[in-house]
Structure 1
Amino acid sequence: MPENRIVITGAGVASAIGLGHEDFFNALLRGDSGVRSLAERDDDGPTPPTGHENDGLWIGAPIVGFDGKQFVKPRKALKVMSREIQLAYVASMMAIEDAGLDSVFPAVADDEDSPASDDGSVRFAPKDIGTVFGSEMLYGPPTELAEAFQKSLDENGVMDESLFGEAAMRSVMPLWMLKYLPNMPACHVGIAINAHGPNNTLVLGDTSGPAALDEAISCLTRGIATCMISGAAGTRINATRLNYRNDLPIAESMADASKASRPFDPTSKGVVGGEGAAVFVLEYLAAAIQRGAKPIAEVVSIASRFVASGGMQLPKRTCDIETAGIRGSVKAIKLAVNDALQKANLTASDIGMVVSHAMGDPIIDVQERQALESCLPKVPVVSPIKTLGHTGAASGSIEILVGVLALKHKMVPPSLSFADSQSAGPVVTKAQPLKKSHVLCLSHTSEGAAIATVLASV
């Protein structure tokens, strides 16, 4: 094993099936679904017009019952936090508490009175703590700019773009833009725990979270930090993101909305959106043991590869489901999986479970199925997007979380099973024991990027 082993000592999650990783994993084991009509959402997001509650566009996986006021301190910070930032913040605080660092953070300089861990042996200087997050474009509700747009109309009611700048300056809250900067989850968490170490944000679509994890590990191995907070937050169900769906096909209407998300089902017509966040605390194994922490899982290897999809080569972005290879890249997925196994000095027979990124897009799912049949034949497969919808930039981190918790509990959680589904292959539909000590978590994008992460029990 490597001399400098990196472990996850804490994890937090905000999802449509639970807040906190224990509730989250128990819901997975029970087969709960977070997919529902968006008529049931209770945030300020858009809801379907009467009579269209179960149309494909209006089916999603919102987090119901979430109120940032219950978690974010000081509360005034909520003024500059979009919903995605709030979710990332909450998941981070959960991860920090799970790692036993809530009494240690916020960190203070060595020459100040510093709180310590329970055994008194740990002190993190601010410069030794870093935050690296995956993110995406954070879109505010159109209503926040409605007044500015109205003031930009000329006497004939036609939009005059030259008026918009001044109108927006007068109509929009001065700190409005801070609510929607992609790098703000890492910044808010860093400020809250007084982290002066590496701070960065990666915006790489569905692979944003795993890429951030990879960079966080690099910060540790390069010696520029001794503790890293890393994760991602995302959504595909806010108002602006719902208006733009030309990159992925939309799921078909369903009388039972919970059955709309159908990864690996060849009859699926599209993707169900969701929202969420997952965050991890990363440390060296030796340091974690020294401070009395109990690691949850070890990150053994990560491999990132890119082979342009058919759409990228054209170039063309489309939600077409008839053109094979227009989205996704079987070559990139194969390269990432094989390279991650090679870096870990493992073979397919060592892997007890694959956490899939299949999403219900028949074009992309075919790419992944072909890659898994080639690289990891007969390895049990779990499909979280079936339960949580596609959570945008958060999806890759949530998939890693599923792998981490499977190792912690030594259980393979089931993917939802529908009687009318034509899904086949090694997709697990009933909870079963995890028989091996390694899992592989897969994330990839429609453009052709892929990241494979190998985790191990500790």
Structure 2
Amino acid sequence: MNRSDIVITGVGVVSSIGLGREAFTQSLLQANSGVIELVDSTVGDRNATARFKFEEGHSGPTQPESAVEIGAPITEFDPKQYVKPRKALKVMCREIQTSFAASQMAIEDAGLTSLLPAEPAELAKKSGRIAVERIGTVFGSEMLYGDPEELADAFAACKTEADEIDRSKFGNAAMRSITPLWMLKYLPNMPACHVGIAVNSHGPNNTLTVGDVSGPNAVLESCGYLRRGIADIMVAAAAGSRMNTTRTMFTEDQPLTGASDPVCRSSRPHAKDAQGIVRGEGAACLILESGESASSGNRKPIARVLGMASRFVPSAAFAAGQFTSSSEKNAGRGSSAAIEIAIQAALSDAGLTANDIGLVVGHGMGDPVIDAQEAEAITKALPGVPVTLPIGLLGHTGAATGMLGLIAAVVAAQRGVAPPVAHASDCPEPLNVVASSTPLTQPNVIALSHTSHGSATAIIVSAT
């Protein structure tokens, strides 16, 4: 099977700029940002502590620099509309809920709802449903952080009369006060597990936890299963968050930015004045099929997968083991070499050249160090090609970031339009950042994703 025989028949999105493919598309093409000022009533108590700034060289949170705290939360999501049976919500943290919902949206978008759950092959022949071994699930995930309040009683029981914590008491205290199902809410492989159970998938199942490239790598692996003929349909998804209360206490190696005026334009990837990322959350899913499977089921493809590549060239900071809170030591974050060779490999895989690409969906996030690495790679491998930057609307969504970028590429290819970037005039000239919605001059769109350590992916899609 050639790469071009793999098609996308369904898209599901749970994001700060819309739920579902159509809402996401409209917001993307109109540059409607999901970045808002955070208040307790906006996203609930779970984000009430998402108020911290991290000073350069400081290992812990400080007081806010200003009264305005920002993020890109999902504000209109009700998991009860998507999760069935509802009792499953008891063992789903927010990321699992959003990934399950995105998967259900994608399944419906592909017209597969009446064909699932899958059945054993003999029964499937009679009922017309999907055979259990011919559908699989591969998800991108990450460390899923729990709510501190869930552990509060256990820690309180460890308090001594001297007002200190006796760690030796925690084991017994946790056994008494933490629900036995607590861990199931936070295992990174549970999103794929829940969806696999829901659709009765007995085909390939895997979870990838490789940072921002988790989602695109899930797509690469899913396409590998389709090419090898061990599945006809793959559910590929990713979910992530930097909004979780516990997650806000841990910034890794990337700086945060403050609020801009207006607040909705605070996420400024590749801008000359960019200072850091905006926290966000989201989930996205693609239904990938062989062309034969889609044709036999009378499912109209949304887009076609033409080429893909995953590469790793260690960044200078990673090679030196210097990932700390100090921006001086982190000057070597990101790898332009990895991004560049991923682009070249994807072009080769698709049998295309740079002149055949109509749009680059960049992974720029507002971190000036990493954005500079991406800019260097794009200007070398895809000079002059228009660039759009969806993280400017969505913020950084952890493991969902790369998949949401790929969804943006699918949308752009399917509509034949380059989504605009509101701050395009503030981006460096060598990058041809899209200032207003314009028709694509070529039908092929390449989506990039990469990490500070040196992993990079490139996936090329086109309209069918």
Instruction: Tell me if both proteins adopt one fold, taking TM over 0.5 as the criterion.
Output: yes
- Normalised by the size of structure 1, how large is the TM-score? 0.94
Contact persistence 1:250–1:272 (CA under 8 A): yes
CA 1:13 to 1:367, structure 2 compared with 1: closer, same or farther past 3 Å? same
CA 1:115 to 1:184, structure 2 compared with 1: closer, same or farther past 3 Å? farther
Q: How does 1:310-349 map to 2 (within 5 A)?
A: 310-322=316-328, 325-349=331-355
Contact persistence 1:416–1:429 (CA under 8 A): yes
Matched, 1:83 2:84: no
Matched, 1:356 2:362: yes
Q: In 1, distance between residues paired with 2:364 and 2:288?
A: 27
Contact persistence 1:252–1:260 (CA under 8 A): yes
Q: What secondary structure does 2:155 align onto?
A: helix
Corresponding residue of 1:436: 442
- Given the alignment, which residue of 265, 289, 293 partners 2:271? 265
Contact persistence 2:332–2:369 (CA under 8 A): yes
Amino acid at match of 1:375: A
Contact persistence 2:317–2:330 (CA under 8 A): no
Q: How does 1:157-172 map to 2 (within 5 A)?
A: 157-172=163-178
Matched, 1:72 2:83: yes
Corresponding residue of 1:93: 104
Q: Which is worse superposed, 215-224 or 228-237?
A: 215-224
* Shift in Å, 1:157: 2.0
CA 1:207 to 1:339, structure 2 compared with 1: closer, same or farther past 3 Å? same
Q: In 2, distance between residues paired with 1:48 and 1:134?
A: 26
Q: Which is worse superposed, 265-274 or 203-212?
A: 265-274
Extract unaligned runs of 5+ from structure 1.
Answer: 117-121
Amino acid at match of 1:441: A
Contact persistence 1:104–1:115 (CA under 8 A): no
* Shift in Å, 1:395: 0.6
Contact persistence 1:269–1:321 (CA under 8 A): no
Contact persistence 1:309–1:326 (CA under 8 A): yes
CA 1:56 to 1:379, structure 2 compared with 1: closer, same or farther past 3 Å? farther
Alignment deviations for residues 27-69 of structure 1 (CA, whole Å, 9 cap, x no partner): 1111211001121632442226999889499311001021111
Alignment deviations for residues 11-40 of structure 1 (CA, whole Å, 9 cap, x no partner): 100000100011101111112110011216
CA 1:56 to 1:102, structure 2 compared with 1: closer, same or farther past 3 Å? farther
Amino acid at match of 2:110: A
Q: What secondary structure does 1:452 align onto?
A: strand
Corresponding residue of 1:451: 457
Q: What secondary structure does 2:114 align onto?
A: coil
- Given the alignment, which residue of 25, 50, 70 partners 1:59? 70
Alignment deviations for residues 329-370 of structure 1 (CA, whole Å, 9 cap, x no partner): 011111111111111111110000000000000000000000
User: RMSD of the alignment, in Å?
Assistant: 2.2
Q: What secondary structure does 2:359 align onto?
A: strand
CA 1:165 to 1:307, structure 2 compared with 1: closer, same or farther past 3 Å? same
Corresponding residue of 1:149: 155
Extract unaligned runs of 5+ from structure 2.
Answer: 53-62
Q: What secondary structure does 2:280 align onto?
A: strand
Contact persistence 1:42–1:65 (CA under 8 A): no
Q: What secondary structure does 2:460 align onto?
A: strand
Contact persistence 1:9–1:297 (CA under 8 A): yes
Contact persistence 2:50–2:245 (CA under 8 A): no
Contact persistence 1:131–1:189 (CA under 8 A): yes
Q: In 2, distance between residues paired with 1:414 and 1:49?
A: 29
- Given the alignment, which residue of 288, 304, 307 partners 1:282? 288
- Given the alignment, which residue of 386, 390, 394 partners 2:396? 390
Contact persistence 1:336–1:452 (CA under 8 A): yes
Amino acid at match of 1:101: L
What's the % identity of the aligned pairs?
49
* Shift in Å, 1:317: 1.2
Corresponding residue of 2:6: 6
CA 1:84 to 1:49, structure 2 compared with 1: closer, same or farther past 3 Å? closer
Q: What secondary structure does 1:45 align onto?
A: helix
CA 1:238 to 1:216, structure 2 compared with 1: closer, same or farther past 3 Å? same
Contact persistence 2:2–2:227 (CA under 8 A): no
- Normalised by the size of structure 2, how large is the TM-score? 0.93
Contact persistence 1:352–1:379 (CA under 8 A): yes
Q: In 1, distance between residues paired with 2:260 and 2:169?
A: 44
